[in-house]
Structure formats: structure tokens, C-alpha cells
Amino acid sequence: MSAVRPMRRDRMVLSEKVLGRHQDRLAIVYVRQSTLRQVERHQESRRLQYALVERALQLGWARERIEVIDDDLGRSGASAVDRPGFQRLVAEVGLGRVGLVLGVEMSRLARSCRDWYQLLEICALSDTLIGDADGIYDPSC
């Protein structure tokens, strides 16, 4: 993954990788915590994940084009089989409806390497960027 070189435009920090064709589609913020105990006790983690909506706004997405998928709160990331939110995310990306997927720590979006690589491949094929608080990445590069 290459480094992001931010630039200032209209008081927003934009990534060179974010183009109009990405912003024409949805930005999806994927929120997940592995157990109900984490959901109850680690509220700061959840708050940081929901705050990625602001990151999408900073990157130029209109609020109505930002969607939060939080169906998997309290579900293990060991497999996508028991995570309807992750399945929905992969389906939306595969249908070409998503320009950006945001998560707090993208490598932990899927605990299974198989699920993670499947998402990366679908993102690359559908020209979907992935990102976190630190950067925007183009999996097709």
C-alpha cells in the first residue's frame, strides 16, 4: 500500500486517490466488535468507528452517500458466515455501489485471511478504495 499524499481543497483534506467516480458511489463505514462484552465495555472503540463518518465527509462524500453497517456488533470476525453486515458489505462492493470502505483498522475488518483477501479482490475489481483514519488505499495498485 502506498502512502497518502493529502492536499487541501475547499477546507477539506482530500486524498489524491479519491476521484469523482468514487464519490458518485457510497462510502460505507463498517463497524464491528467481536463480543457483546466488548460492545458494553469498549465504548470508545465503537465511538471511533462511528466517527469515520466524519472522515468520509472530509474526503468529499455527501452525507446522504455515507452508509454505516453495524450489523456485526458483538459478532466474532473469525468467519464471514455469521456476519450479515460483512456479507452485505461484500455484496454492495461487488455490485459496484461502493466507492470507499472505511474501518478503524482495515486489517482487522476480517479476521480470516480468506475473507480479507476476498474483500480486497472485490474492491480491486470494482474500483473501490479502502481506508482508515490514517490513509486511503487503492487495492488495484
Q: Which are the catalytic amino acids?
A: 34
Distance CA 140, CA 105 (A): 19
Q: How many CB atoms lie within 10 A of CB 73?
A: 16
Picking from 110, 106, 98, the residue whose alpha carbon sits closest to that of residue 132 is 106
d(CA 26, CA 11) in angstroms, rounded, equals 22
Tell me, what amino acid is at 22?
H
